[in-house]
Every structure is written in structure tokens, then in C-alpha cells.
Amino acid sequence: MTAHVARIAVAVLLAAAPAGADPAEDAALAHLDRGVAAYRAGDFARAHDELLEANRLTPDRPNPYRWLALAEAELDDCQSALINIEAFLSRVPAGDERIPELVALRDRCLHTGRITIDSTPSGAAIQLDGGPAIATTPARRLVMRVGAHTVTLSKPGFVPYTARVEVHPFGTDYATFHLSVAQATPLTHRWWFWTAVAAAAIVVGGLAYDTASDSPTRLPPLTCTATGCRP
């Protein structure tokens, strides 16, 4: 009797299940949802793990490839992102609204790179290719076009430092610079020093003249006789 009841229960469950239901499909959607949520929260490593599992369960679905590419680009793994971009593009029709996003990501991976710039001491302003300051050190994962750039670091009290850096695609480059303390300008080399000296000399000279002007004039003594007076 018990076995008979169990067989009836299984038959009822199978009849109630929607046609075409696929446990792997449901699990993949759950992983995809968690992966997208982690990506939007900025937890790209966790997002990548969830999206990989979604992709493994449903390798023919395009959306896991899309989100994998986005997460891998944030993890500085543009080489893997490019593979997943092409996998996504090959699985969607030409008019899919998600295509421009993935094409832009592909261009970014191919033509831009990231660089982290640091200095000792930190807090130096960073100028790129002669332009205005764009950040202060430590500046992490700055996005720049691939190729050579001129970077200038400046900080009050330190000698400005200029160097060439090379930015590569597919990853993050690192550049660290040591700033030298600016030497104090000798007192006699400062523009105001000799102006002050000249002003002081004029004042002293004027005081000496006034003192001399106030002194009584001393004349030689006169000697007078019957014939007249003479010095």
C-alpha cells in the first residue's frame, strides 16, 4: 500500500511540473542572477564564479557570455573577455540591443589599458601628456590609451618629476616614482634679499646725514690785534 501511494505521489508531481522544465536551466538562471547582482555590487570575483557556473550549465545561452566578458574586463582579464565577447556575438541576431555594449567593450580592451601610478611620498598631482592634473598618487587603474605617455608628478616642497610610461592592453601596468626634496634657496639668492639690503643702506645713510646736519659747525679761533682780526 505504501509503495502504491508513493507511485501515485510521483505521478502527481510529474503531472504538475511545467512542460519542458529543465533543472539545469533553473540552476543556471539562479547562478546568473547571483552573478549579475555581485557584478552590480562591485564584487567582480564572486560575479565571475557565479557566471562561470551559469555558463557551464547552459553553454548555448548568450547572456552568461555577456556578463562574463563584463566581469573579466573589470578583473583586468581582457584576453578572456574578448573570447566571451565573440562567443556572445556569435549567439545573438544582428539587431540585438546588447551588441553595442559588447562592441564598445571589445574596442576598450583592444585600444586602452590601465596603469597604477604611485609615488614616495604620496599625494603628488599627476599630469598626463602636459594636460591638467587628473589625479593624485596613489592613483589605481587609470584608464589610458595604449602606447607611450608623459607623466609629470608635482608636490609642494619636492622637485617635479617627469617620466615616460608605456601602457599595454590586457592588464594593468604599474609605475612608482621617488620624489626628491627641493633644496632651500640660499638667502642671498632670493630676489627680495638685496632689495632689503639696499633699503636698509638708504635708511642708514639718511640717519647719518641727519646726525651730521644737527652737529654745530666748528670754526677756527680768531686772534685780534690793533691791526685787525685773523684766524
CATH number for the segment(s) 21-96 = 1.25.40.10
Residue with the three cell numbers 670754526: 219
> Considering the domain 112-178, what is its CATH architecture?
Sandwich (2.60)
CA-closest candidate to residue 47, choices 74, 79, 71, 82: 71
3-state per-residue secondary structure call for 113-180: EEEEEEEECCCCEEEECCCCEEEECCEEEEEEECEEEEEEEECCCECCEEEEEEECCCCEEEEEEECC
pTM above 0.75, yes or no: no
Instruction: Report the percent of the chain where pLDDT is more than 90.
Output: 60
- Residues whose CB falls within 8 Å of the CB of residue 75, separated by 6 or more in sequence, listed in order: 44, 45, 48
User: Quick one: CA torsion of 75, 78, 79, 81, rounded to 10 degrees?
Assistant: 80
Q: In what order do the strands lie in the sheet containing 139-145?
A: 139-145, 112-120, 172-178
- In the numeric block, which cell numbers belong to residue 150? 608623459
| Topology agreement, domain 21-96 and domain 112-178 | no
Instruction: Quickly state the pLDDT bin for 14 (edges 50, 70, 90).
Output: very low
**Any idea where the domains of the chain sit in the sequence?**
21-96, 112-178
- Residue 208 CA from chain centroid, whole number: 64
Please provide the average confidence, as pLDDT, over all residues in the chain. 82
pLDDT, tens digit, 9 for 90 and up, residues 83-141: 999 999 999 999 999 999 999 999 989 999 889 999 999 999 999 999 999 999 999 98
